[in-house]
Amino acid sequence: MPVIGLLMGNLPQARTTRLLSSLLHAAAPSGTRLVELTPTDLPLHGPYTDAPVPTAALEWKRRLEEVDGLLIITPTHERAIPGTLKHALDWAVAARSSLVDKPVVIAGAAAPRQGSFMALVNLRSVLSDAGALVMRQPERTLTAQASDFSAHGHCHSAELDSQAHELLSAAAGYVAHVVRVGGPGSLPSVPTDPIRAVRAARTPAPRSPADGIPAFSDTASTPDPLAITADPVLGTISMDTTTGAPA
């Protein structure tokens, strides 16, 4: 059973963040466990290169390493990911990156008519630098707002519900694929050159059938068109054999 860690950047409305997280948990396909990852007690400053990693950061890195993969949801804050999300990722790579060869699926979260492209570009760059195996196309965005949920937290937006299920299905499939092919760092590859293997086998080529293939000739003869014409005028014209012009 693949275990996927859910890491969410804070949406503009705290209620929407909480309800969207609940929807993603409910959308997880059978056989997949989604666990929420929330860093706590991290230092307010970024990692130092000349100081030991504090205990809270070591615990955060351990939690990231325990999951099979990550699903990261980000809104757009000033054309980038939220500072709290960037801070958590900064500590994830402190001393030694806990994201190296970790399968990661990313998605934006935005209200209708508000894009998330720049945040996804920023997030993909941060994760790639950290050594994560980020799932490529398609870029996904959850169109979410507080009015999509009832007072009891039920999602009554068919579009958002469908987006959540499609995202979790893709995330589960990607993480399971990376784990199945050998764990982090073992993406599938072609073990040998197929053309070289065929040539090394020295298998004789199939013989052509005896019938059905026309024979080829090295020479061909074309009849003189004047010799076969029935035109009496052309038959009486004398031609110069050198130039081909009428004599």
Q: Are 99 and 92 in contact (CB under 8 A)?
A: yes
Question: With 90 as the cut, is the pLDDT of residue 232 above it?
Answer: no
Using CA atoms, how far apart are residues 210 and 123, in angstroms rounded to an integer?
A: 64
| Residue 243 CB neighbour total at 10 angstroms | 8
**Using one digit for the tens of pLDDT, what is the confidence trace for 145-173?**
889 999 889 999 999 999 999 999 999 99
Name residue 181's amino acid.
Answer: V
Average pLDDT over residues 213-242: 57
pLDDT confidence of residue 195: 46
pLDDT confidence of residue 137: 77
Average pLDDT over residues 179-189: 55
Q: What does the CA dihedral 63, 65, 67, 69 come to, rounded to 10 degrees?
A: 130
Q: pTM to 2 decimals?
A: 0.71
Mean model confidence pLDDT for the chain: 82
**Using one digit for the tens of pLDDT, what is the confidence trace for 139-150?**
899 999 889 999
Domain coordinates in residue numbering, the chain:
3-180
Question: With 60 as the cut, is the pLDDT of residue 199 above it?
Answer: no
Q: How far is CA 116 from CA 38, 53, 217, 228, in A?
A: 22, 33, 68, 79
Long-range contacts of residues 195-200, Cβ cutoff 8 Å, at least 24 apart? none
Q: What does the CA dihedral 159, 164, 165, 168 come to, rounded to 10 degrees?
A: 160
Q: Locate tokens 């299920």: which residue? A: 165
pLDDT confidence of residue 185: 43
Long-range contacts of residues 134-139, Cβ cutoff 8 Å, at least 24 apart? 134/104, 134/105, 134/106, 135/103, 135/104, 135/105, 135/106, 135/170, 135/171, 135/174, 139/107, 139/108
Higher pLDDT pick, 51 / 219 = 51
Using CA atoms, how far apart are residues 38 and 40, in angstroms rounded to an integer?
A: 6
- For residue 142, list its beta bridge partners: 109
Higher pLDDT pick, 239 / 143 = 143
The CATH number of the structural domain formed by 3-180 is 3.40.50.360
